[in-house]
């Protein structure tokens, strides 16, 4: 009887674990830091994680929202091969107009076809303060992820590019 109960509990735990849609995703963290946006910057399309599957999407986003980011990545010799990789970007806007804090990277997860960059609040080691209110400093996480079949139908792909 005890053996049947143990086997039943093992079967239930395997079933529950196997049905979970949440999974961690292998990635390479390529940038974590502040980016200056002059004159308050443009309003971002989302503060959720955005996914870029091609150069056209990435160029449109950076030209319209983060025009200094390609320069920073170029200086860091970061290259993305969009035929084999995608980019995921998380923008953390300042909660206060005058300052923003840095954050600690946690992981990249996939849940119901939504890719998410997770971070830990409260990394208060670095602060940016601007006294003239003309520049804001969002904190950016940028990761490269190898293309895989399970990432083929993501719901949070950047779609603002003109069709």
Length, in residues, of the chain: 163
pTM reported for the whole predicted model: 0.74
How far apart, in Å, are the Cα atoms of 85 and each of 51, 54, 61, 74, 82?
11, 9, 17, 17, 5
For the chain, the distance separating the N- and C-terminal CA atoms, rounded to the nearest angstrom, is: 64
151, 112 contact by CB (below 8 A): no
User: Domains of the chain: which residue ranges?
Assistant: 23-151
147: three-class secondary structure by DSSP = coil
What the block records as the tokens of 129 is 């303060």
Tens digits of residue pLDDT in 113-142:
999 888 887 655 555 666 566 677 788 889
Mean per-residue pLDDT over the chain, rounded: 75
């Amino acid at each position: 009887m005890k053996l049947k109960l143990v086997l039943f509990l093992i079967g239930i735990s395997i079933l529950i674990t196997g049905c979970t849609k949440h999974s961690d995703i292998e990635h390479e963290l390529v940038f974590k830091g502040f980016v200056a946006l002059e004159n308050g910057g443009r309003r971002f399309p989302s503060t959720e994680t955005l996914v870029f599957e091609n150069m056209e999407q990435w160029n449109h986003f950076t030209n319209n929202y983060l025009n200094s980011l390609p320069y920073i990545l170029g200086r860091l010799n970061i290259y993305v091969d969009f035929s084999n990789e995608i980019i995921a970007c998380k923008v953390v806007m300042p909660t206060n107009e005058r300052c923003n804090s840095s954050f600690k990277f946690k992981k990249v997860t996939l849940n119901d076809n939504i890719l998410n960059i997770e971070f830990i609040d409260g990394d208060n080691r670095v602060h940016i303060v601007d006294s003239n209110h003309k520049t804001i400093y969002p904190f950016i996480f940028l990761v490269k992820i190898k293309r895989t079949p399970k990432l083929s139908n993501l719901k949070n792909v950047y779609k603002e590019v003109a069709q």
